[in-house]
């Protein structure tokens, strides 16, 4: 019951009791308690979630920072709250793009699977895959953005290592002091390093997608070279096979080739 307690007096104004005028708010009170319980449960779910969850208000300041985010970044909730998210926690080279994502979310345009890099308290970088979701009040006014993330640091570092290795191998191939060339399953050139270009006089751009045998091999050796390539395409590799390349200036260059699948 919601009660107003009023003093009761006799004709001489002596207090003789109290009168309570009440309103039965059982249903509303039960509803309020249910809402409060749900809010507490949601708060616990956010705080204890096994994924980093963080949020900002309309000014870009942190107003949500769960336990997992604190664990990953090294910054406690108390240290993070009210700090500008982008300038405090995002690596400099990504600040503008992250700000753009947040600005769009603050206008109602949400973003999924956006990779950002958090700078931790120990100056390490953690890679997070984030869904940026618009946060609204009960009247549907936009009041901020919530990011639900997945820590992909290990996978991202692995991908970067593979990419770095691929770039290094590409450089080794391109700059090798031996001619390296390759074909696809249709016999068309898909690899043509600098040394091959130097020897033949054909640039990489001129050679790519051309049929190797009919374009660059002297006529009398085309069938035997085709046989070597066909065997390699079936997994039977050939070592120290001598072939004759026809150069752009119509000269012949003799190459000793290992044909590798």
User: In the predicted model, what is the mean pLDDT of the chain?
Assistant: 85
What's the average model confidence in pLDDT over 73-91? 93
Q: What is the pTM of this model?
A: 0.52
Q: What percent of the chain has a predicted confidence (pLDDT) above 70?
A: 89
* pLDDT greater than 70 at residue 162: no
Burial class (CB in 10 A: 0-12, 13-18, 19+), 193: buried
The tokens for 163 are 């990419």
**Do the beta carbons of residue 116 and residue 94 sit within 8 Å?**
yes
Per-residue confidence (pLDDT) for residue 121, from 0 to 100:
92
pLDDT at 40: 65
Q: What is the pLDDT of residue 31?
A: 66
For residue range 1-18, what is the model confidence (pLDDT) as tens digits? 677 888 888 888 888 888
Check whether 49 has a pLDDT greater than 80.
no
Distances (CA, A) of 124 to 53, 59, 90: 19, 26, 11
pLDDT in tens, 111-123: 888 888 888 999 9
Percent of the chain predicted with pLDDT > 90: 30
Tokens at residue 96, please? 């503008």
Terminal CA-CA length for the chain: 85
Residue 38's pLDDT band, with cuts at 50, 70 and 90, is: low
Sort strands 252-259 and 142-151 into parallel, antiparallel or unpaired.
Answer: unpaired
Under the banding of pLDDT at 50, 70 and 90, the label for residue 29 is: low
The predicted structure's pLDDT at residue 4: 81
Residues with Cβ within 8 Å of residue 185, at least 6 apart in sequence: 233
Is a pLDDT exceeding 80 seen at residue 233? yes
């Amino acid at each position: 019951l919601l009660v107003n307690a009023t003093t009761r007096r006799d004709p001489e104004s002596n207090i003789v009791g109290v009168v309570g005028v009440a309103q039965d708010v059982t249903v509303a009170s039960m509803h309020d308690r249910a809402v409060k319980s749900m809010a507490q449960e949601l708060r616990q779910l956010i705080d204890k979630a096994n994924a980093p969850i963080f949020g900002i208000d309309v000014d870009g300041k942190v107003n949500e920072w769960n336990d997992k985010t604190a664990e990953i970044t090294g910054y406690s909730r108390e240290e993070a709250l009210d700090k500008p998210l982008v300038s405090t926690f995002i690596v400099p080279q990504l600040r503008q793009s992250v700000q753009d994502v947040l600005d769009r979310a603050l206008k109602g345009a949400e973003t999924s699977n956006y990779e950002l890099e958090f700078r931790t308290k120990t100056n390490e970088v953690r890679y997070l895959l984030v869904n940026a979701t618009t946060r609204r009040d009960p009247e549907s006014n936009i009041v901020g953005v919530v990011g639900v993330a997945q820590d992909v640091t290990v996978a991202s570092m692995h991908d970067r290592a593979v990419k770095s290795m691929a770039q290094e191998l590409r450089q080794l191939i391109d700059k090798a002091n031996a001619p390296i060339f390759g074909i696809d399953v249709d016999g068309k050139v898909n690899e043509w390093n600098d040394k091959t270009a130097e020897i033949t006089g054909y640039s990489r751009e001129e050679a790519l997608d051309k049929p190797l045998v009919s374009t660059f091999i002297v006529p009398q050796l085309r069938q035997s070279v085709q046989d070597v390539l066909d065997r390699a395409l079936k997994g039977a590799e050939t070592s120290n096979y001598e072939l004759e390349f026809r150069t752009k200036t119509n000269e012949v260059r003799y190459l000793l080739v290992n044909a590798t699948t």
